[in-house]
């Protein structure tokens, strides 16, 4: 198992807010091909391996850097979050990687399967000092309810709200309202899947400052992208 890294850019400071670790196969196979091999029998082991592997890979690349490491995790694979996180903390300590720099991304889709369990997991992560992010926010039916119950540190807007936003008054209105809501509770908003300058400019005009997507940088296997992507901001 290997990892590609894709930056999340803070255009307000022209810096990198986080590096998202994206799982890949030994020969660079896509995340989809890897996830296709995951079922209920190996879900927990896979999630644990991804968390530990991402920390180890990042520790080699992010020495003396201060941005967050964003790790995708599956709350529905976790039965006891304290036990689960102890392995991640142990891996971070062994690699001298600061736990305070770890952000866990959890997709809103997973909340549909067991909402109360999902809420419990996110709250536990927050209580143990990890940064928490809800991925694909706005794609499911539980978004605002989930928002109210867990108050994550970060939300990543779903691509359905981002793609084509430059030409959609409705999408602009939805994103603008979400920004206002999150601003009241000091929750950061990331626009992910940004691929065009038109969409980037529209989102920036609305007040979005955190971006991720091909417009800035594609994921890089086993390395961090060069900082020249900041020139497009």
Q: Domain map of the chain by residue range?
A: 2-232
Instruction: Copy the structure tokens of residue 106.
Output: 């959890």
What is the reported pTM?
0.92
Instruction: Copy the structure tokens of residue 223.
Output: 């390395």
Find out whether 47 and 110 touch, Cβ atoms under 8 Å: no
Reported as a single tens digit per residue, the pLDDT across 194-228 is: 999 999 999 999 999 999 999 999 999 999 998 88
Which of 47-51, 72-76, 112-116, 213-217 reaches the highest mean pLDDT? 213-217
Q: What is the DSSP string of 177-221?
A: HHHHHHHHTT-EEEEES---HHHHHHHHHHT--EEESTTT---EE
Reported as a single tens digit per residue, the pLDDT across 70-82 is: 999 877 666 666 7
Domain at 2-232: CATH code: 3.20.20.450
């Amino acid at each position: 198992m290997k990892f590609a890294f894709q930056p999340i850019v803070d255009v307000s400071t022209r810096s990198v807010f986080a590096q998202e670790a994206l799982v890949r196969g030994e020969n660079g196979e896509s995340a989809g091909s890897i996830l296709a091999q995951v079922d209920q029998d190996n879900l927990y082991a896979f999630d644990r391996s991804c968390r530990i592997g991402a920390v180890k890979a990042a520790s080699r690349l992010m020495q003396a850097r201060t941005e967050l490491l964003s790790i995708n995790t599956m709350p529905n694979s976790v039965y006891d979050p304290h036990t689960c996180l102890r392995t991640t903390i142990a891996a971070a300590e062994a690699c001298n990687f600061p736990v305070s720099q770890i952000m866990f991304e959890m997709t809103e889709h997973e909340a549909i399967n067991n909402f109360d369990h999902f809420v419990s997991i996110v709250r536990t992560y927050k209580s143990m000092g990890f940064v928490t992010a809800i991925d694909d926010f706005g794609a499911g039916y539980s978004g605002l309810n989930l928002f109210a119950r867990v108050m994550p540190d970060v939300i990543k807007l779903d691509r359905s709200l981002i793609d084509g936003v430059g030409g959609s008054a409705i999408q602009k209105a939805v994103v603008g309202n979400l920004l206002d809501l999150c601003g009241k509770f000091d929750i950061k908003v990331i626009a992910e899947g940004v691929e065009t300058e038109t969409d980037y400019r529209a989102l920036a005009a609305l007040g979005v400052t955190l971006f991720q997507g091909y417009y800035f940088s594609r994921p890089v296997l086993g390395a961090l992208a060069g900082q020249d992507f900041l020139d497009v901001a």
